[in-house]
Structure 1
Amino acid sequence: RLSVPQARELKPGKAQGPLTGGCLTLLCRSLKTPYEVQTQGRVVLIEDVNEPPYRIDGMLWQLKKAGKFKGVKGVVFGEMINCHPPKGESGKIDDVILDVLQDEKFPILMNCPIGHGNEMWTLPLGINATLDTRTRSLVFKKSGVR
């Protein structure tokens, strides 16, 4: 059980499914390649670093238009290190995410230590996970290693 007291619930709920995902920039670059990310029926991790909100917005819209949020069980966002607007501009990353995913019914947890922060979780992709935004946790019933 991985508990994240600093996480923020953007959309409430509980979801279960195999874990997939990674760096948002690379997820977008995987589209239409043999390595394209498979998201249907899964809990999706999304993280990135040093991307302003307008670029995060564009990449999330690209994934949405490619159908990558259809059938998703839940989404866990990383800390999104240095993903803030340039000086003098406004825009919060949470608002960008909610704008793109407002019509989706799955739970969304934000600010988890995955990706490029000081504290980094190593998470087992492909293993079933339960995301619970109320308890701000990600639970694995099996280990990712043998």
Structure 2
Amino acid sequence: GERAFICAECGKAFSLKHNLIIHQRIHTGERPYQCGVCQKSFSLKQNLLTHQRIHSGEKPFSCQRCGKRFREQRFLLNHQRTHPEDRTGPDQERPFSCPDCGKTFGQKGSLKSHRRTHAGQNPPFTCPRCGQSFAQKGNLTAHQRTH
């Protein structure tokens, strides 16, 4: 369809005004959806709903092979790659598995860095513009391009 709604900040075009409004939050930093438990805020309502599972303990995604349950579908998908009978190709060279989400790594150091995202530790790389923190420098660098 026609993309009649243009972002004045970056020129990206949208066919629905609603999608433009949501997109503009990237530029404004607006986060209108706030968690009532920890006060963390989000730009998308769905991200708040997903976040709230941390507090409720809800784990709606279940592995069909072993029954382990997960808060988010992406954690389930990462976990499913850890079942040896399902592994093919490059995954066979990723022997280090995160016990929290199932994501696999080829190097022990990569797993250690990743585990900081679950441990509640303050990630060491912080954006000087908005204060958001990251466990890996590459993720901070990618984030800074959004400003």
TM-score by length of 1: 0.21
TM-score by length of 2: 0.21
Whichever structure has more helix as a proportion of its residues is 2
Q: Which has the larger radius of gyration?
A: 2
Instruction: Considering Cα pairs closer than 8 Å and 6+ residues apart, tell me whether 1 or 2 has the greater RCO.
Output: 1
Whichever structure has more strand as a proportion of its residues is 1
